[in-house]
């Protein structure tokens, strides 16, 4: 078996045998082709990210001796397995931050509490299912909070001693022509025993053995579903794919997509058949995690401003006729006026740059997009900010001929964690440093917003 473990948004130098390296690069090609053909499951909470035709999950270059390769990863983290010939190939991409920073980022991006000491276990497969479990819990809380418990209405035909629903005249005459004390009726009866609730119970059972601390609080919901008569039998991917969502159950759709990943992953882990182990994958877009983290941070710290995430509230038309919708990441308002447009970028941005080719400079497409946002939403002195997870601050530049500014303001969360003699991370020190950097970021942002 050839395996590859990488970090996202990095150049990863790998030294392996020619045979293993050959398998891995062919596996990367297969992954990129599947990604291009939309055959790779990319979990997206808001379903708004667009894949570009030329986009890849992994790119690579090979040295002349074919023993060393440089694998360049994108913003996606996750797991992919396949077979090349009769050989099994697995590729894992982890967040480039340490475990403590990763846990903090995910917990705050999802808005959930992560128990102290709970983290992904060692080993790529364990960390992948840990990540999926964390996402599943956050998605479950969101669905349960925003929606009712899903129920279905079953059509019942029954000969009752009382009238209910609609009389089935044909069967009434056939069965009750002599004894007219009964009514053969057709009526609807609601039930909670449907695929969505069955899937919740099944996935909870799959995850609870290893990650009970992550799922704290869901036990009560599981007991309630049991009291409502929801069965706890295995669910297949085919059954989940047949779910028809309504306005009342639409919030459960991301949760069902994650449930499919969990069921597929467990099937992968339990399978001894190489062919059954082929083709399983699930990936998460770190750009969305970064965006959600920033939104939740600003919403908490800028309580005297109005902070909006248009990805949650809806698009804005660019033209007066309502055409060509646009959607900035975050809008900051004061007294109803937009004073800042924030573009969360999970990219190496440290400056606007005098031209796009400079290392760390904002690329041309993102810069043009920001000027469009400012034209649509901006007022006098409105600032457009690119916020990336790197240590940087550049005095915003004034747009030629306008009283609006564009700049880069970094929030570096890549805290290096100290390891003691027992090889244990100083998690408390790491969190303390993260909170300090968040405070500095908010202070700098408030200075830029000063005067509104």
Looking at the fold, whether 261 and 215 belong to one and the same domain comes out as yes
Q: What is the dihedral of CA 49, 53, 58, 59, to 10 degrees?
A: -150
Which of 69-83, 275-289, 399-413 comes out lowest in average pLDDT? 275-289
Tokens of 61: 């270059």
Cα gap 409→292, rounded to integer Å = 17
Cα gap 315→328, rounded to integer Å = 8
Spacing of C-alpha 432 from chain mean position: 26
Share of the chain above pLDDT 90, in %: 37
Cα gap 311→327, rounded to integer Å = 7
pLDDT digits (tens, 9 = 90+) for 392-412: 767 788 777 677 899 999 999
Query: 389 lies in a domain?
Result: yes
Query: 75 lies in a domain?
Result: yes
Query: 162 lies in a domain?
Result: yes
What integer best gives the mean pLDDT of the chain? 84
* Last residue of one domain, picked from the residues 221, 254, 287: 287
Looking at the fold, whether 62 and 107 belong to one and the same domain comes out as yes
What pLDDT is attached to residue 277? 47
pLDDT digits (tens, 9 = 90+) for 158-173: 888 888 888 888 888 8
Q: Which residue is listed with tokens 């639409």?
A: 250
Looking at the fold, whether 186 and 202 belong to one and the same domain comes out as no
Looking at the fold, whether 356 and 386 belong to one and the same domain comes out as yes
Query: 317 lies in a domain?
Result: yes
Query: 294 lies in a domain?
Result: no
Looking at the fold, whether 26 and 164 belong to one and the same domain comes out as no
Transcribe 206-226 into DSSP letters: HHHTT-TTTTTTHHHHHHHHH
* Last residue of one domain, picked from the residues 253, 287, 321: 287
Looking at the fold, whether 243 and 144 belong to one and the same domain comes out as yes
Query: 297 lies in a domain?
Result: no
Looking at the fold, whether 220 and 345 belong to one and the same domain comes out as no
Query: 243 lies in a domain?
Result: yes
Beta bridge partners of 156: 187
Helical pair 253-270 and 195-208, crossing angle rounded to 10 deg = 50
Transcribe 232-271 into DSSP letters: -----HHHHHT----TTTGGGHHHHHHHHHHHHHHHHHH-
The candidate with the shortest Cα–Cα distance to 324, out of 373, 384, 288, is 373
Cα gap 285→135, rounded to integer Å = 12
Q: Which residue is listed with tokens 């877009």?
A: 285
The CA angle 288-96-114, to the nearest 5 degrees, is 65
Query: How many domains are there within the chain?
Result: 3
Domain residues for 161?
Answer: 152-191
Cα gap 151→190, rounded to integer Å = 6
Looking at the fold, whether 142 and 42 belong to one and the same domain comes out as yes
Higher per-residue pLDDT: 189 or 191? 191
Q: Do 159 and 184 contact (CB within 8 A), yes or no?
A: yes
The CA angle 195-115-443, to the nearest 5 degrees, is 110
pLDDT digits (tens, 9 = 90+) for 128-144: 667 777 778 878 888 88
Looking at the fold, whether 121 and 50 belong to one and the same domain comes out as yes
Transcribe 50-101 into DSSP letters: ---TT--SEEEEE-TTSSEEEEEE-SEEEEEEEEETTEEEEEEEE-SS-HHH
Category of 117 on φ-ψ map: left (φ > 0), alpha (ψ -120 to 50) or beta = left
What pLDDT is attached to residue 61? 93
Beta bridge partners of 190: 153
**pTM passes above 0.85:** no
Tokens of 202: 């099944």
């Amino acid at each position: 078996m050839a395996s590859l473990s990488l970090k996202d948004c990095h150049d990863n130098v790998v030294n392996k045998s020619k045979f293993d390296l050959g398998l891995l690069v062919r596996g990367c090609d297969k992954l990129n082709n599947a990604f291009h053909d939309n055959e790779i499951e990319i979990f997206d909470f808001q379903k708004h990210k667009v894949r570009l035709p030329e986009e890849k999950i992994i790119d690579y270059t090979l040295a002349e001796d074919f023993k060393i390769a440089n694998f360049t990863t994108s913003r996606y983290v996750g797991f992919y397995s396949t077979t090349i010939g009769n050989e099994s190939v697995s590729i894992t991409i982890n967040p480039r931050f340490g475990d403590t920073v990763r846990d903090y980022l995910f917990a705050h991006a999802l808005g959930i509490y992560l128990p102290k000491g709970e983290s992904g276990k060692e080993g790529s497969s364990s960390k992948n299912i840990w990540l999926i479990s964390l996402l599943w819990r956050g998605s479950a809380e969101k669905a349960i909070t925003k929606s009712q418990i899903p129920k279905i209405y079953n059509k019942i035909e029954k000969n009752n001693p009382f009238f209910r629903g609609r009389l089935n005249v044909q069967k009434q005459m056939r069965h009750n022509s002599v004894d007219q004390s009964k009514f053969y009726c057709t009526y609807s009866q609601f039930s909670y025993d449907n695929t969505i609730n069955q899937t919740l119970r099944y996935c909870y059972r799959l995850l609870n053995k290893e990650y009970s601390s992550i799922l704290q609080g869901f036990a009560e919901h599981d007991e309630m579903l049991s009291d409502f008569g929801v069965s706890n039998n295995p669910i297949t991917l085919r059954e989940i794919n047949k779910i028809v969502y309504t306005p009342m159950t639409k919030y459960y759709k991301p949760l069902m997509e994650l449930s499919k990943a969990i069921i597929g992953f467990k099937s992968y882990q339990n399978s001894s058949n190489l062919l059954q182990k082929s083709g399983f994958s699930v990936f998460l877009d770190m750009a969305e995690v970064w965006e959600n983290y920033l939104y939740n941070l600003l919403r908490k710290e800028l309580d005297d401003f109005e902070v909006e995430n248009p990805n949650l509230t809806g698009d804005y038309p660019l033209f007066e006729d309502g055409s060509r919708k646009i959607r900035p990441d975050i809008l900051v308002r004061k007294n109803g006026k937009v004073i800042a447009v924030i573009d969360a970028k999970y990219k190496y941005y440290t400056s606007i740059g005098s031209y796009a080719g400079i290392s760390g400079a904002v690329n041309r497409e993102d810069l043009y997009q920001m000027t469009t946002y400012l034209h649509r939403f901006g007022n006098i002195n409105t600032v457009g900010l690119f916020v990336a997870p790197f240590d940087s601050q550049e005095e915003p530049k004034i747009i030629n001929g306008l009283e609006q500014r564009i700049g880069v303001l970094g929030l570096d969360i890549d805290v290096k964690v100290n390891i003691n003699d027992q090889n244990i991370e100083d998690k408390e020190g790491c969190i303390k440093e993260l909170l300090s950097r968040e405070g500095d970021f908010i202070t700098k942002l408030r200075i830029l917003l000063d005067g509104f």
